[in-house]
Amino acid sequence: MTSARVVVGAVAGAVLLPLLAVPAHADSPTAPAVDLAGLRGVLRSAQAQGAPGSMARIDDGGRVYRAAVGVADRGSERAMNDADRFRIGSVTKTFTAVVLLQLVDEKKLQLDAPVNRYLPGLLPDDRITVRHVLGHRSGLYDYTNDMFAQTVPGFEAVRKKVFTPQELVKRSLARPRTNAPGAVYAYSNTNFVVAGMLIEKLTGNPVRTEYENRIIGPLELRDTFYVHPGMKIPGPHVRGYLTPDQAGAPLVDATEQTVSWAQSAGALISSTRDLTTFLSALLGGRLTSAAQLAQMERWMPSSGSGQAYGLGLRRRDLSCGVSVYGHTGAVQGFYTYAFASKDGMRALAAVANTSNNGTVLNTMLRTLDSAFCGKATKATKPPRGKAPVERHEDMAPALTLD
């Protein structure tokens, strides 16, 4: 087994944005210390459970912590590296939501207006609002349920395909809606395909341009790219390995794909450094107005214990009573957790380079406790048999994993 590597060090000064002043960092005397030993143990467990490698980064004011285990490439046996890029899956949804909320700030969009006001005739129900789409309460069926009912055959069928957003929405509308608009939370990638269409209609630009101009450029995210419909991850990167449904079958290298099945719902590439930078800026109030950040944080109950969903943003309530904010990501070959404290001062990004492995998914959830709860609060964790079980939603949310 490859040994874990942990690095602790100082990071240079904060990124400056023209939007809002950057709050000064003050280490809270009550904040638990990062549990590096625990974090290392989580990563090793994920490797033992089938992930070729995993890594995590924690930014905590003027300090950065890194841990990595296993390999980024099974062929060359190159070790995982914090500088490597990877596919972030549904963490893309938070980027997409930020762009739309900036458009609300610019008076180009109203959250409670019907989607059809901006995209006439797209949806069969004028009651579906922009807010419903961003909060997964539209009732629009998730087309990925059908697409990935069989994991590897489903992936190979779309690996090289290029869809239009309209084609993806059409797939959704071919199935009955799951609920009335606004009734309940029901995770659906269709919602954020629609969100991407709204961005392009209101700005006249591709979503790539808006990500770059509004988030990637201002925050100097040098590892974040939207390459769709390109298939390759640029520069040094982690290779992702898809676990087949059949027990014991060899892993499938899923690194190269268009991710056209997800687009603005899940096609971004990034790094752990860029994700912690992004979340710290968002929760620190540097990407939207305070009013729009408050809209993102209007929580509704979501699936699974200890979770709620706002607008493109999840809240997770940890074993120690701390709540953290961000998103999970699952795309073929990669599981990502990206969360930060309420003020954005401490942020975690963690990735394992496998997917369709519920055991690894649930194990990687524990990186949050190591980052935000520390050692002293371990006794507050639920007793054996009561630990939260992570439910895979980001792809084919209606399907049961494992």
Q: Would you name the residues annotated as active-site residues?
A: 90
SS3 172: helix
What tokens were used for 134? 């961003």
Q: At what angle do helices 36-48 and 358-365 cross, to 10 degrees?
A: 180
Whole-number Å distance between alpha carbons of 186 and 183: 9
Instruction: Find the angle CA(149)-CA(154)-CA(157) to the nearest 5 degrees.
Output: 155
**Among 125, 128, 138, which Cα is nearest to 185's?**
138
Whole-number Å distance between alpha carbons of 221 and 57: 15
DSSP state of 78: E
What sign for the dihedral angle of Cα 325, 310, 378, 272? negative
Distances (CA, A) of 131 to 69, 152, 155, 292: 40, 34, 30, 12
Whole-number Å distance between alpha carbons of 302 and 325: 14
What tokens were used for 128? 């579906």
CB atoms within 10 A of CB 203: 17
Show Cβ contacts of residue 376 under 8 Å, excluding neighbours closer than 6 positions.
Answer: 32
Whole-number Å distance between alpha carbons of 394 and 262: 10
Would you say 234 and 134 are in contact if contact means Cβ atoms under 8 Å apart? no
What tokens were used for 381? 């964790």
What is the β-pairing status of strands 86-87 and 241-242? Answer: unpaired
What is the β-pairing status of strands 241-242 and 354-355? Answer: parallel
| Alpha helix (H) residue ranges in 321-386 | 358-365, 367-372
